[in-house]
Amino acid sequence: MNHLIVYAHPRKVSFNHAILETTVRSLRQKGHEIIVRDLYAMEFQPVISSSEILGGVGEDIEQEQEYLKWADVITFIYPIWWTGLPAIVKGYIERVFTYGFAYRYVNGEQKGLLKGKKAIIINTQGKSHAQYAASGMDKALILTSDKGIFEYCGMEVLHHVFFESVPSSDEATRTAWLKQIEEVAGKA
């Protein structure tokens, strides 16, 4: 299978990077083809231009769309910041998941154009799950990303994994989480 990984974390020494390395290694061991798009390393420009809003995308965005067409499974790895996607990921979605490519309206009804694509979302967060659940943010995170972006565009979300309280987690916990990533990659 063809796997596209969209990765966003500015530090090479981070638990997110360990997740990326584990995902790539696990998929390669299973013989999958992989392309990694490290948004920070690419210095991806997240700000949409007025010409893009009018429907004209540049070669950089056309290339990202080609990667999406190629992929059977798209894995997003990023931290939760301010209860949502980092700006660079939000900008990637806004610029790459364009009208006419990822979705369109037919007779006023929305149609997802990425049907047949599978999505895996892996997030780290500073708070505990209990803290997010107490405020309803756990459900909001799934609603805004899984339903509001990926399913809206026709993708099937296979897994959405949250690793909680990452800054205060110990090495044994992180090792167990990376084993979980190996299992998720094995099911993709």
Per-residue pLDDT reduced to its tens digit, 44-71: 999 998 888 887 899 999 999 999 999 9
Rounded CA gap, 162 and 174, in Å? 12
Encoded tokens for 140: 């909001």
Check residue 179 and give its pLDDT: 96
Residue of 92, 110, 91, 112 lying closest to 101 (CA atoms): 112
Contact 102, 113 (CB under 8 A): yes
Phi, psi of 67 (to 5 degrees): -60, -40
Phi, psi of 50 (to 5 degrees): -65, -35
Check residue 53 and give its pLDDT: 83
Contact 86, 145 (CB under 8 A): no
Name beta bridge partners: 76: 6, 121
Residue of 3, 119, 120, 93 lying closest to 39 (CA atoms): 93
pLDDT in tens, 87-104: 999 999 999 999 999 999
Rounded CA gap, 123 and 136, in Å? 17
Task: Name the residue with higher pLDDT: 9 or 136.
Answer: 9
